[in-house]
Structure 1
């Protein structure tokens, strides 16, 4: 009896928390069952000779079961009247999240004076996949060079797999520089990752869009606890026009995550991945659409690969505008849950 009562109280407190607004009606059903059983046990332990019987749907119920059934039917009748309030609470919760997202976007634009502001602080935000608590998707803010403890860094590369020069403001340059050996003056003396990638391209001049190649992390393993670099052909170059984002971003994501899982099967598991906003560095792409497509593709991958060894994928938000868009997309994504 005590166990049922305490369990019912604990479950009711948990289900009544604000983040479960919109689902509290369904969550109250097991609470009623626990209270019904506790009440029946209490009554028949104090009054062992008492009787309770009735008939419902052609079945005759008596004793403690009859009392519990009566208590449950009465409770369900009362609880059914609260369902509209749950639905209203769910709508209010959705509107509050949309309002908060709008405030973040307006604040980002206002604080940056109309231009993106580079984020100096490395913070993480993640949500579990609905119906699959093993897998999570989120974002990490700031410079990639400041992110520690993530197994895989994804490098958005061109179809020629030619890494950026180390003094360029790109993800490729960051990976190349920090993955190499440097002297006391900070000059690159051994281009570990660049040379390994170039070696894989010895017999070819380019790869297909969305193709992936995997290299070691070079010095990043010691300094940032990175275990693999996955290079994905996310941009295509054209003489006189520069680079543009490849058309099939979803295939880029699938290929990256598939390759990470393949490598995990051959070695120790790779649990976490940092995924930059592929192909947006040059400003020739729709940033909001890119975030939405990358997120949707990641959700789809986890839904179709329940056994994936990857536990969390982080979108990389380098600026306040990118962070606002990533946070909004995560909060709006139907495949994720904020509980």
Structure 2
């Protein structure tokens, strides 16, 4: 075997190895098997060259597509034909590999969303634009769970607003950055300068307390919507005792947030049975206002509570429940939880 032939054989083999390593990279998922064709051709040509250069008296003959081939050409043609036959069956494998890679990529992105990843040092960004994202609850026709983004004051067209309240049912002062304060201010009557002159919802809630100083965790009290009925098309405000306070320690979420969700939806259905038409509910991320909770766990608990209620109350006349996501981090976490919740249908953006 001449040095030229030896070098050429080695070059063909090395080219085949290099091409095979390149084609096997994750970035070429979905084409792994198809790219093996040129690799196989290089190997077959290298094998034929080596065999017939080393054993020049070897004989290989065959017919393909009406042509007779002999010698090294016949040997190479045999490998090529076998390669094409094998590669013709690999399309399904490529498609499966591509789909698997796509799923892995989507799952990785969703995991990042679920963790609320953002640039180091950058605080959560309040969302100005209100958007909706929802998924259907399979097996329970007509029921959906989703999220709505932005400030609650910008949400319109929802029948029920849920107020995250403490066990004393004391609404926040109107200048505090809370759900309770937003409902109190926008639900009250104001003068031309924007000053609150009739504390409509807070007064009605105090009346509902009937002289009690506190309620049990998870209890729900119902009030009217005050001025929100005209400005935001809200029909009812449901105040749920989702946080507890201690002197000197601040507030913390109650232990059973899922119970809070069930109680809210049960109360909405009670009102529906009494003749009201309450089909949509806005549910804040209960207990997360003070920063003393696990956002991901809270979102998972709330979604599980909504889904569980719908599945156990298939006749519920509530059609949709939306988690309220005020920041980009909350929105990312809520969307990831919704899309990854086991058994939920494909999401439908709005």
TM-score by length of 1: 0.72
Give 1:144's match in structure 2, choosing from 146, 152, 155: 152
Conserved in 2, the CA contact under 8 Å of 1:119 and 1:142? yes
Matches within 5 A, 1:253-264: 253-264=261-272
Cα shift readout 1:180-237 (whole Å, capped 9, x = no counterpart): 0000000000011000000011321000000000000000010000000000000001
> Secondary structure of 2:142's match?
strand
Q: How does 1:179-198 map onto structure 2 within 5 Å?
A: 179-198=187-206
Where 2:322 maps in the other structure, the secondary structure is: strand
- The one of 298, 301, 307 equivalent to 1:293 is 301
Q: Is the 8 A contact 1:212 1:256 kept in 2?
A: yes
Report whether the alignment pairs 1:305 with 2:309.
Answer: no
Distance in 1, matches of 2:116 and 2:236, equals: 36
- Asked if 1:170 corresponds to 2:175, the answer is no
Task: Return the index of the structure with the highest Cα Rg.
Answer: 2
2:169 corresponds to which of 161, 173, 180? 161
Q: Distance in 2 between matches of 1:225 and 1:203?
A: 30
Which consecutive unaligned segments of at least 5 residues does structure 2 have? Answer: 1-89
Structure 2 counterpart SS, 1:221: helix
Distance 2:297 2:290 in 1: 15
Residue of structure 1 equivalent to 2:118: 109
SS of the residue corresponding to residue 126 of structure 2 reads coil
Distance 1:107 1:201 in 2: 38
- Figure out how many residues of one structure are paired with residues of the other and give that number: 258
Aligned with residue 233 of structure 1, among 238, 241, 257: 241
SS at match of 1:140: strand
- The CA distance in 1 between the partners of 2:160 and 2:325, in whole Å, is 16
Residue 89 of structure 1 deviates from its aligned partner by 7.1
Cα gap change, 1:106/1:229 in structure 2, threshold over 3 Å: closer, same or farther?
A: closer
Instruction: Rate the CA distance shift 1:204–1:82 in 2: closer, same or farther, 3 A.
Output: farther
Rounded Cα–Cα distance in structure 2 between residues aligned with 1:118 and 1:86: 41
* CA distance in structure 2 between the partners assigned to 1:212 and 1:107 by the alignment: 31
Task: Indicate the residue corresponding to 2:133 in structure 1.
Answer: 125
1:323: how far off?
0.4
TM-score normalized with structure 2 length:
0.69
Offset, 1:105 = 6.0
Listed as ranges, the gaps of 5+ residues in structure 1 are 1-80
Cα deviation 1:114-165 (Å, max 9, x = unaligned) = 3111111110000111123400010000000000000000000000000000
